[in-house]
Amino acid sequence: MKPVDTIAACRTSHRLLLASLALLTDDDFRAPSLLARYSRGHVVTHIANKSSAHVLTFGGPAAGEIRQLHPDRYDPDLAADLGASRSAAELRSDLVQCFELLEATWDALDDILWDRLGMMAAGPRPSDWPSILVEGELSKRLRSFPDRADHAEILAWLLGRGPAPELTGLW
């Protein structure tokens, strides 16, 4: 089922971000952000790149594919570096286009396809993953875990009396 409330919240957030960027100049986008090594231009480029990656991932269900958010060896810092020095107008325009395409992709995805899978990567090491991602994904994965292995093997592993069970199926 399409997550209508979540989509509405995302649309609102997109509009708020775009409004907050509307008056920034080229120099403003070159200024440091609160993220180490990232200017504001880096942050906007990263958000645009992530939105574009989500468009590709959300296209997977209709094509009968499970798509990965980013290709192997994708370097988000390098990708942000490549777009960060663009003009304020170019940065804003790119972000507007990426948000419009992402929102159109959400609108076009059939209700019955919203429970399909996509492969996400939250950082190079689990220690880099934000807690909100870890807690949200862990609860989803744990709900389906009993269906992916023999229950006795799962219990033996959890009790420290056996190896990790062989998992079947996709998440």
Q: pLDDT-derived band of residue 171, with 50, 70 and 90 as boundaries?
A: very low
**Residue 134 or residue 56, greater confidence:** 56
Give the count of alpha carbons within 13 A of 72, CB side only.
0
- Asked if pLDDT for residue 53 goes beyond 90, the answer is yes
- Domain extents for the chain? 4-113, 123-171
Architecture of domain 4-113: Up-down Bundle (1.20)
pLDDT digits (tens, 9 = 90+) for 4-33: 988 999 999 999 999 999 999 999 999 999
Q: How many percent of the chain have pLDDT more than 90?
A: 55
Summarize the confidence of residues 48-57 as an average pLDDT: 94
